[in-house]
Every structure is written in structure tokens, then in C-alpha cells.
């Protein structure tokens, strides 16, 4: 079973001013695929240090094999998810993000504005998705099947986990 963490990045959502439709849609997609189980969900503001800390905790403590973020990949000054992801990953998986952009471009030319990244930290894949429900679900559906193989390779290697950090 592939353990999934979903992190929604939204200032308004973190303040309780917006319902997280995108996170709910992503949970539905994972529930429809028997290989995946959502084991963690959180909503954070668009804050670089908080995003980095969350990604490191989830990967370093083996909480999730796949960490999916949604939001913070656009051009707004507060959009820092790709930068936080690049700051914590050990290897970039450029092909995943490139494929999502290419497939999205078939739907809308605005796909070229996505700054999403994908990479590996310890035994986890970290994947950035757009914040919009439509964009996030389309992009996840483009790659969800292929990610199984990558995660199986990572899980086949010995990974030492730190002692989980209490929240």
C-alpha cells in the first residue's frame, strides 16, 4: 500500500476562510485507486519555512511514500511551493512535472504558467499540483498510474526513518 500525504497550501484556507475543495477531490482520486491510502492531510499557509518543515517531517519520518501538495505553484508573490520543494528534495524528477505540463497544455495554453516541481527526498516522492480543483485532478490523473512504479523502486531500497516529530 502506498501511503499518501496531501498538503493544501492556502493562506485563506489555513485561516478557515475557505473550504478545501481541491484536497477533497484529491482524496477521492486516491480512494479510487487500490494501491493508494491517504494517511495524512494538512492545510498550511503559503509560508516557505512552514512548507519546508512539513515536507521534511513527512519524508524523513516515513509518514508518506507520496507527498502531494496543491496550491502555491503560480505567479503570485505568495506562491512559494516550488521553491520550498526544491529546497528539501535530494533529487529532482523533472519528467513528472514536464509531463503534467505537456498534457495540461493540450487542454489549455495557461499550463505553461505552472511552476510545479517533483522530486525525491529519502523514500518519498514530493509532487506539486495546482491549487484549482480542475487543474489538480487533471494533473494527478495524468501521472497517478506511473508514480506507482517509481514509488515501488523507492520502497524497495532501505530507508532509515527518524523518530517521528510530535505535533
Q: Which residues of the chain have pLDDT under 50?
A: 167
In three-state secondary structure terms, 126 is: strand
Rounded to 5°, the CA angle 90-27-1 comes to: 60
Residue 141 domain-assigned (yes or no): yes
pLDDT in the model for residue 135: 97
pLDDT in the model for residue 163: 55
Residue 46 domain-assigned (yes or no): yes
The x, y and z cell numbers of residue 53, run together, are 518543515
For the stretch 12-42, pLDDT in tens is: 999 999 999 999 999 999 999 999 999 999 9
pTM of the model: 0.93
pLDDT in the model for residue 156: 87
For the stretch 154-165, pLDDT in tens is: 988 655 665 555
**Using CA atoms, how far apart are residues 9 and 23, in angstroms rounded to an integer?**
10
Residue 161 domain-assigned (yes or no): no
CATH classification at residue 96? 3.40.980.10
Strand locations in the chain (E):
2-9, 36-44, 66-70, 91-92, 118-121, 124-129
Amino acid at each position: 500500500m502506498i501511503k499518501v500525504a496531501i498538503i493544501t497550501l492556502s493562506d485563506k484556507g489555513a485561516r478557515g476562510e475557505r473550504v478545501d475543495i481541491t484536497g477533497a477531490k484529491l482524496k477521492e482520486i486516491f480512494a479510487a485507486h487500490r494501491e493508494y491510502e491517504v494517511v495524512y492531510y494538512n492545510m498550511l499557509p503559503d509560508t516557505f519555512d512552514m512548507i519546508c518543515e512539513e515536507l521534511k517531517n513527512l519524508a524523513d519520518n516515513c509518514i508518506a511514500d507520496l507527498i502531494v501538495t496543491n496550491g502555491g505553484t503560480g505567479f503570485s508573490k505568495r506562491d512559494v511551493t516550488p521553491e520550498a520543494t526544491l529546497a528539501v528534495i535530494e533529487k529532482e524528477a523533472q519528467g513528472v512535472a514536464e509531463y503534467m505540463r505537456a498534457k495540461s497544455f493540450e487542454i489549455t495554453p495557461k499550463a505553461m504558467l505552472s511552476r510545479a516541481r517533483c522530486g525525491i527526498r529519502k523514500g518519498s516522492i514530493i509532487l506539486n499540483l495546482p491549487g484549482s480543483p480542475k487543474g489538480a485532478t487533471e494533473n494527478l490523473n495524468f501521472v497517478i498510474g506511473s508514480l506507482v512504479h517509481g514509488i515501488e523502486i523507492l520502497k524497495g531500497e532501505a530507508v532509515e526513518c527518524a523518530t517521528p516529530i510530535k505535533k
